C-alpha cells in the first residue's frame, strides 16, 4: 500500500462509524474517547494544518466496533484513489459579483475545477493564490480550500467579501453584532475593522495545499 493520506485515514474512520450505524461523535463515545475527538472541526488546526488521529484512538475504535486491522486497511485502500472535484477560481477574480451568491457560495460561470486528494468535503471550493502578497504564509500557486458553511471561530483564517467588492484573506480577531475585527496575514499590511453590515460574507479556510 502506498503512503497513507490524511483523507484516507479519516474516511476509514467515517466508514467504520457508518457500518456501526453511528455518527463520528457516537463512535468516539463508544470507544471511550471524548465525543468531539472525530468531529470534522478537529481534523484541521485553525491555520489549516492536518490533525491526525492517534494510533491509540484507532485501536480503541477497532475494539469498540469489533473490526480488525485488516478491515481498517481495506477501508483505507478503498479511498486511496478517491478524489473530489471542487469549483476553483483565482483569488484575484473573487471580487466579481458573478462568482458568488449572497451567502458566499460559488455560482455562475467562470469557475474552473480543482481535484482534492481526499473526498467527502461538502460545499467547498478552491481559491488559488496568485503572486506573493501573502508571503511567507501563502505563496504563489498555493490552493486554499474554503468552506462557506463551516463554523467560524476567533483565530480562524477566513476569506471575507465586503459590500464594496473587496475580497481579502485575514484572521478573525473578533466579531460582534456591530463590527468585525480582522488581522492581516501580511507583515506589512494593517489590520482592519468593519461595521458588520459592511461584510457581505465570511468563509473559513479549512485546508491549504502547498
Give me the domains of the chain, ranges plus CATH numbers. 6-78 (1.10.260.40), 84-209 (2.10.109.10)
DSSP of 126-173, one letter per residue? EEE--SSTTTTTS-TT-EEEEETTS---TT-EEEEEETTS-EEEEEEE
pTM of the model: 0.61
In DSSP terms, which residues pair with 90 in a beta bridge?
A: 128
Place of cell 494510533: 55
Task: Find, among 51, 45, 49, 41, the residue nearest to 9 by Cα.
Answer: 51
pLDDT at 95: 87
pLDDT at 50: 81
pLDDT at 41: 78
Q: Which 3 state secondary structure label does DSSP give 102?
A: coil
pLDDT at 62: 93
* φ, ψ (nearest 5 deg) of residue 106: -60, 140
Instruction: Please give the average pLDDT of every successive group of 10 residues along the chain, which has 210 residues.
Output: 72 84 88 90 75 92 91 79 80 88 88 72 84 85 87 90 90 92 81 89 84
Amino acid at each position: 500500500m502506498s503512503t497513507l493520506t490524511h483523507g484516507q485515514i479519516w474516511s476509514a474512520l467515517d466508514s467504520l462509524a457508518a457500518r456501526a450505524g453511528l455518527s463520528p461523535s457516537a463512535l468516539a463515545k463508544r470507544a471511550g474517547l471524548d465525543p468531539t475527538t472525530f468531529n470534522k472541526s478537529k481534523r484541521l488546526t485553525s491555520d489549516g494544518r492536518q490533525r491526525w488521529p492517534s494510533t491509540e484512538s484507532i485501536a480503541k475504535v477497532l475494539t469498540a466496533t469489533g473490526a480488525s486491522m485488516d478491515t481498517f486497511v481495506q477501508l483505507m485502500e478503498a479511498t486511496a484513489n478517491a478524489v473530489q472535484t471542487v469549483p476553483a477560481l483565482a483569488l484575484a477574480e473573487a471580487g466579481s459579483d458573478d462568482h458568488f451568491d449572497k451567502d458566499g457560495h460559488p455560482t455562475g460561470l467562470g469557475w474552473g475545477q480543482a481535484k482534492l486528494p481526499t473526498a467527502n468535503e461538502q460545499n467547498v471550493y478552491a481559491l488559488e493564490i496568485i503572486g506573493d502578497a501573502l508571503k511567507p504564509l501563502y505563496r504563489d500557486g498555493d490552493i486554499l480550500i474554503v468552506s462557506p458553511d463551516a463554523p467560524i471561530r476567533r483565530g480562524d483564517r477566513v476569506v471575507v467579501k465586503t459590500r464594496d467588492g473587496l475580497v481579502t484573506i485575514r484572521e478573525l480577531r473578533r466579531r460582534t453584532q456591530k463590527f468585525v475585527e480582522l488581522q492581516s496575514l501580511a507583515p506589512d499590511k494593517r489590520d482592519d475593522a468593519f461595521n458588520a453590515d459592511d461584510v457581505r460574507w465570511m468563509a473559513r479556510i479549512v485546508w491549504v495545499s502547498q
